[in-house]
Structure 1
């Protein structure tokens, strides 16, 4: 790839994977973004989270309201942060330098990478359950391997996890082009499985009427706190994408393509998928007397090898789909940004999934309280960074970045030796306000709104600090005079 600049970029800030993508090489259409989002929202964790709302005592209508509100907030934040990626062809780790400085940017980038790798670990373990279900159909005694424990897990679970890990590595090895084509068929495949289970649920409940007539059991005085905590939790599942969506929209053929594609793929498909989850989980209440939010456990209830095999295969593909795009692409760019001289996208992607194994998700995955707490903390931690990034692009820079300035160690984005202390003060304030309810009992009610508080406080504090310092706002135009290979 060749990129034209007037000035020599610093080798510690530049390599081909971080460079602006020329317009002629941006070939992702609205269909690519639609199918990518299908793959990301149609996954086991999203399914379980939507289904678990029934387990919390919500009615089907209340659960759908949570999903709709979360989707409206998500698509608004994602659209806002998508524009700069499409405009400049740059990934998140480069764009964030404008707010935090070329050295300071490493802090939010590494936090985001850590969160994404954590989610890779969670999704990989959830998907490996589907692998185990398929293997159990063809290998007698597979379940008995669970009695052999190693590293705190049954041997069958570890083998399933290892197989699933190798599948991820295979997809990653050929970079973004393989990921794009994989997503084209992975997302729609899961819809077929979901629709089959919806038909079963309607049949088991003798119609949709009984499903939507199941009353809520959640006490009224707990409803709104649970409602907004659930909204924050659903946002937390995709909180990393709010930040690193430029990693994907930098390939967009036009702003129109990314806007339309994401509108079809995120709010429409996620609401549809959540509706299927709510209907299916409500159907299990009628069919089995209890809500079953885990799709793998639901498949095993059918006792039919063909149903289990096809269902588990669909879940496996769905989980790889979301894991690669949402949880490997982002840290791959992040780690490359940290060591651009030594790493590229593929190497960093493999390093990310190796680190993901160290989270040992089998040791705590089934603890629902821990998962909910972690999801909330993720939203609260990343929210301020999203608020700062959006405020910087639209209100401080007036939608104009000096592209060359993002790759050099002097100029507007140098701040104080590469660090912008005002951005860090705003981020800390946002995180403290977002998470204070988790640590101060008298303020516990605030924790339900952690993501919203984090975004709002981070953005407002950043704008106030930047304007108080009388930071100059300029418009920049890159005049290409030099060709860098």
Structure 2
């Protein structure tokens, strides 16, 4: 296809392969990197406040942790995530490039498609599940406001007609927010993040009044002691990291728009671990109040709204859930999936077209079959951790150890550049990812290695990064030996 017919309508620099670049994949010029630490913080605030994170405390307490121990698990998990995202975000801010381009330095332009496809699959999956949660909230709102809506209970393809309509509303809202690209997303998050915090604080104040304090969940003792505690602690931390393991690899998709390294680290510190440590007790306190009101804990926010059975609360609470879901989905799921799709077909897709394709693919993931199967979702989280941990390890090892924080950016857009490797398969990234993933996931197949799977993300990072460094040094030794022989 001639350059004039490229989807970006922007001339590419000399030597850039049109199958590897378009306007959305090119480096963001320094003068256009206008995100401050406030933007980065509000983006994370919007992402951390979602139904899956809200319900995560219930999963930890189901393992036997006390409420205070659950907060300890959250603190450790998000502390580790912050460090991983801080370091992995740095090249994005330095060079203004997205994840799908940065990863070519370790995987090559062809090999990079493997982790990109894996990340894209995860993004579409979570977009689908989160959107279905928002559709339930919309259904609750509309059923409260309209008896006609509530009566549309005829099923079609495994779901009621009214739920299909609710999904259509949610999908349309996602499409509107992403219809003007990254800048509209930034402005939306600037409003949505703080609003969701305000709504959460309101619910917490209500719960404190109902429970006359922190409530019964905070007085529940731990059921874990000794080795059982530490095993569960490792599993809990890994599971929490699994919720964001996908974003640990593609954080450059956001950091490429940030003005300085200071802005990205301060914004992430405020928006990620700090917000998580505030939001998690909100969920525990609110759920404590449900024990006093209904005799059982209700962790699902939509179920809680229906149980309260108050029109005003249902509408306002449902709108809050919808806002929170839109906030996390557009940044954590649609945005990375769109870049990943652009990376597959830069001649045909730009950000807006790719975003629409994500919306369509989300329906094909049939989220109504997944949402009520928590055990399956958590198993997928653990598997994702074991596969994406090695990718994170390879990226960190490549940038900080092998490349020493220096990348020839132009070569990332060429199939004959220094990062091409053998026929586009890079310099060991694929091998390191597969070996690290196999070791991290070994406990799912071999019962005796179950403790390895409890730490799958950590094992994957260490093994993936270590193998990649070993392969890089091996190639360097061979190259040095060849040079000496020739001399």
Q: State the TM bucket, normalised to the shorter chain.
A: over 0.9
Counterparts of 2:477 and 2:320, CA distance in 1? 52
2:119 alignment counterpart: 112
1:78 alignment counterpart: 85
Counterparts of 1:208 and 1:364, CA distance in 2? 33
| Counterparts of residues 92-241 of structure 1 (less than 5 Å) | 92-146=99-153, 148-208=154-214, 210-217=216-223, 222-241=228-247
Counterparts of 1:209 and 1:145, CA distance in 2? 38
TM-score (norm 2): 0.93
In the alignment, structure 1 residue 304 sits paired with structure 2 residue 318? no
In the alignment, structure 1 residue 38 sits paired with structure 2 residue 45? yes
2:415 alignment counterpart: 409
Contact 1:20 1:90 in 2 (8 A): yes
Q: 1:57 aligns with which of 52, 64, 68?
A: 64
In the alignment, structure 1 residue 245 sits paired with structure 2 residue 251? yes
Contact 1:172 1:349 in 2 (8 A): yes
Call closer, same or farther: CA 1:60–1:2 in 2, change over 3 Å: same
Give the superposition deviation at 1:2: 11
Q: 2:424 aligns with which of 418, 432, 445?
A: 418
Give the superposition deviation at 1:194: 1.3
The count of aligned residue pairs is: 472
Q: What do the CA deviations read for 1:362-385 (whole angstroms, capped 9, x no partner)?
A: 012111211110111111111111
Give the superposition deviation at 1:412: 1.2
Q: What do the CA deviations read for 1:322-377 (whole angstroms, capped 9, x no partner)?
A: 00100011011111111111111111111112111111010121112111101111
Q: 2:369 aligns with which of 358, 363, 368?
A: 363
Contact 1:29 1:253 in 2 (8 A): yes
2:483 alignment counterpart: none
Structure 1, 150-159 or 184-193: larger mean CA deviation = 150-159
Structure 1, 25-34 or 210-219: larger mean CA deviation = 210-219
1:373 alignment counterpart: 379
Q: 2:26 aligns with which of 1, 19, 24?
A: 19
Counterparts of 1:353 and 1:336, CA distance in 2? 14
Counterparts of 2:307 and 2:209, CA distance in 1? 16
Unpaired stretches in structure 2, ≥5 consecutive residues: 1-7, 480-487
Q: What do the CA deviations read for 1:43-64 (whole angstroms, capped 9, x no partner)?
A: 1111111233234432110111
TM-score (norm 1): 0.93
DSSP-derived class of the 2:441 partner: helix
Call closer, same or farther: CA 1:158–1:224 in 2, change over 3 Å: farther
The RMSD of aligned alpha carbons is: 2.0
DSSP-derived class of the 2:21 partner: coil
2:438 alignment counterpart: 432
Counterparts of 1:345 and 1:5, CA distance in 2? 17
2:323 alignment counterpart: 317
Contact 1:128 1:160 in 2 (8 A): yes
Unpaired stretches in structure 1, ≥5 consecutive residues: 474-485
Counterparts of 2:438 and 2:78, CA distance in 1? 25
Give the superposition deviation at 1:7: 4.0
Contact 2:131 2:170 in 1 (8 A): yes
Contact 1:3 1:22 in 2 (8 A): no
DSSP-derived class of the 1:103 partner: helix
Counterparts of 2:9 and 2:91, CA distance in 1? 20
Structure 1, 331-340 or 228-237: larger mean CA deviation = 228-237
Q: What do the CA deviations read for 1:401-452 (whole angstroms, capped 9, x no partner)?
A: 0011111121311110111262211111111111111122222232211111
Contact 2:215 2:288 in 1 (8 A): no
DSSP-derived class of the 1:18 partner: coil
Q: What do the CA deviations read for 1:256-291 (whole angstroms, capped 9, x no partner)?
A: 111111111111111111121122223323332222
Give the superposition deviation at 1:38: 0.5
| Counterparts of residues 254-273 of structure 1 (less than 5 Å) | 254-273=260-279
Give the superposition deviation at 1:301: 2.1
Counterparts of 1:290 and 1:324, CA distance in 2? 34
Counterparts of 1:40 and 1:220, CA distance in 2? 34
Call closer, same or farther: CA 1:121–1:471 in 2, change over 3 Å: farther
Contact 1:100 1:419 in 2 (8 A): yes
